Amino acid sequence: MNGVRAANLGLRFLLELASLAALAAWGFHSAGSLVLGIGAPLAAAVVWWAFVAPKARFPVPLGVRVVLELAVFAAAIAALAAAGWQVLALVMAIAVVISELLLYSLGDPQPRSS
């Protein structure tokens, strides 16, 4: 299972990067705003750094962490759909669901004592 876990963590990292790119693309492309193009991915990165990342600044209980990470992914998927890239949004949504199911079915890779 270590190979599956490592592959899934790699997929998850790519999904995190894709989320930032999707939010930036939406801000620049759809909203036509420099502020949203920079601000949306920056806000997502700050939430991830503060609460979700393996070395989060403010560790939170598992349930809260799952809600926050799904919120970031959902925002990115919605951004792709709003920008007119429905196929990419669907592919990302499927990848997120698979990754999340694998992540927590294999056991939380980031156990915390919060």
Write out pLDDT tens, residues 21-39. 999 999 998 877 889 999 9
- pLDDT for 108: 63
- Give residue 104's pLDDT: 84
Question: Which residue in this structure is represented by tokens 């792709």?
Answer: 80
Q: Which domain holds residue 54?
A: 2-105
Output the pLDDT for position 114: 44
Flag whether 110 is in a domain: no
Domain annotation covers residue 38? yes
Residue ranges of the chain with per-residue pLDDT less than 50: 113-114
Rounded Cα distance, 8 and 98, in Å: 9
Residues near 7 by beta carbon (within 8 Å), at least 6 away in sequence: none
Q: What is the pLDDT, as a whole number, of residue 58?
A: 96
Gap between the Cα atoms of 87 and 101, Å rounded: 21
Does 46 reside within a domain?
A: yes
C-alpha to C-alpha distances, 101 to 26, 84, 113, nearest whole angstrom: 27, 27, 22
Tokens of 69: 């990470």
The total number of structural domains that make up the chain: 1
Q: pTM of the prediction?
A: 0.89
